[in-house]
Chains A and B, each alone.
Chain A
Amino acid sequence: MSDRPRSALLYFACVTLVTAAGIATAMTFRPAFRHQVLDVLGLADVPQAAPGSFYTARVAPLFETRCNGCHGDKMDRGQLRLDSFALLMRGGKHGAVIAPGRVDGSELFRRITLPESDEQAMPPSGKPPLTKDDIIVIRLWIAAGASGALPVHAIKNAPKPVVEIEIPQSDPVQVHRQRAPLADVVRQLQVRFPGMLEYVSRDSADLEMNASLSGGTFGHAQLREFLPLQDRILRADLSGTAITDGAAPVLAAMTRLEVLRLANTKVAAATMQALAPLKSLRSVTVTGSAVPPAAVVALRQRGIVVYGSDDVR
């Protein structure tokens, strides 16, 4: 068998040829495979979407919340991934799913608009569906050329984006630390004036005070006791208390005050003038007080809402 090396050579040449032909065929008919191969060879074209583009701002978030669970880095059903612009434009096992400019020719759009009962409908029955507005956003984007560069404002008639509210995770240790410097003062005042002083929330060191339920027993002397907290109080309800314009300096010292309620008190114009330096003030209530309408004009000009000055009893 002297010709064995030659026949072995011939055989392995054939095997290489057949294998190459097989790979070529697979690359032609299996786009996902083609992309895998190109990725390995570092020859893949990886188009990027621009940061301020319509795609990044409006389209990608829809895929992120509705599709990427199955078509993302954890799972690639149908060998389709939607977690980047490049991967989306590659398409899946059966090729491109987006035909730029042609909504009707886009497999992705066909799937997301099928009735829920359809086997091929996406997201599949039981998963949270895309809303009408989501579908409009995708349709407008494909129709406009499915570009990754088109700026977000270029598509004028797009529905407003949906905002999902994330409630921040509070850090008890951090809150504890922020509260610590004045914690003793707060505790003492809480004991002295039950129910009148509380933190605005569990994740904050800011405070709000409400003396409105104590009636006439709460006056200047009591209000002054809250002075150590002057930079922490955001909301003060002094309605129905015994305070008068004499309390103005204390109120003016509460630099971060946002809401001030002085209904049914004897405060008058002087207090309104004293509020001028309060930068964060949003609203003042003077219903049933002695504040004349003219005294609140300046506050209103600053955009502060003043309640009740026109209806003084």
Chain B
Amino acid sequence: MSADPQKEVHVQVWDAPVRLFHWAIVILMLVSWLSADQGYMRVHLWSGLTLLALLIFRLVWGLIGSTTARFRDFLHPPRKVLAYLRGLAGANKALFAGHNPAGGLMVVGLIAVLLLQAVTGLFSNDGLRFHGPLALLVSEETSTGITGLHGMIFNVILVLVWLHVVAVGFYLFVKGDNLIFPMLTGKKKRAHVPEGWSIKLAHPLMALLVLMAAAGLVFWLTV
């Protein structure tokens, strides 16, 4: 850190755990999709369990993480979200260091849907040689029903991901605000951050601890 942080061109907006979480989710979603498509069910199982652990971690990190990781930072009342969306068409001057109100909604939506997908996966079966780790706790009929749900939620995820990518593209090409770069490096141009704002970082060790606890919980639940 240099002597006067206010003079720097870039400001840190994302902590490392959030960024790692984001890109890990991207990779795991692709792995889950391809493995299910190609019938590699062992791979699908482990990528799903990892996803579940990460999602649990993210929920906790949303309570105790760095400023921009917390839900209270990006959860806004619907009225405010609508106002923000309306403002997008014009010259919206409001600045957000972390997720903007629309982005926050997207994050919560994606987490919720992915969580649902991971949990339904636990109870699913492929009707052949494979079933999720908790599928035997419910009747075969229930499991088959849940499997149908698991398939449908996937379509919802596809739509949400598409929306997400289109929105990011919108910021990049239309508004000239690159959101991808900060998610990689953690830093944003000072001009895109409210005056005088700075992040309160949570301890990375804490993140590790929470992640291990989440992994432990998933392991205990399923293995």
Contacts and interface: CB of A to CB of B under 8 A. Distances in A.
Given A75-B127, A75-B144, A77-B127, A4 B169 contact: no
Given A19-B162, A70-B127, A75-B127, A11 B169 contact: yes
B170 A77 contact: no
A8 B91 CA distance: 12
Interface in B139-178: 144, 147-148, 162, 166, 169-170, 173-175
Contact of B174 (A7, A19, A74): A7
B8 interface: no
Interface in A55-88: 69-70, 74-75, 77
Given A8-B89, A11-B169, A74-B144, A124 B128 contact: yes
B129 interface: yes
A4 B127 contact: no
B147 A75 contact: yes
A4 B92 CA distance: 12
Nearest to A7: B174
Contacts of B127: 69-70, 75, 77
B103 to A, nearest CB: 17
Given A4-B91, A19-B162, A11 B173 contact: yes
A70 B128 CA distance: 9
A69 B148 CA distance: 13
Nearest to A127: B128
Query: Which interface residue of A4, A69, A124 has the most chain B CB atoms within 10 A?
Result: A4
Nearest to A70: B127
A77 B162 contact: no
Interface of A: 1, 4-5, 7-8, 11, 15, 19, 69-70, 74-75, 77, 124
Interface of B: 89, 91, 126-129, 144, 147-148, 162, 166, 169-170, 173-175
26 contacts: A4-B91, A4-B174, A4-B175, A5-B89, A7-B173, A8-B89, A8-B170, A8-B174, A11-B169, A11-B173, A11-B174, A15-B169, A19-B162, A69-B127, A70-B127, A74-B144, A74-B148, A75-B127, A75-B144, A75-B147, A75-B148, A77-B126, A77-B127, A77-B128, A124-B128, A124-B129
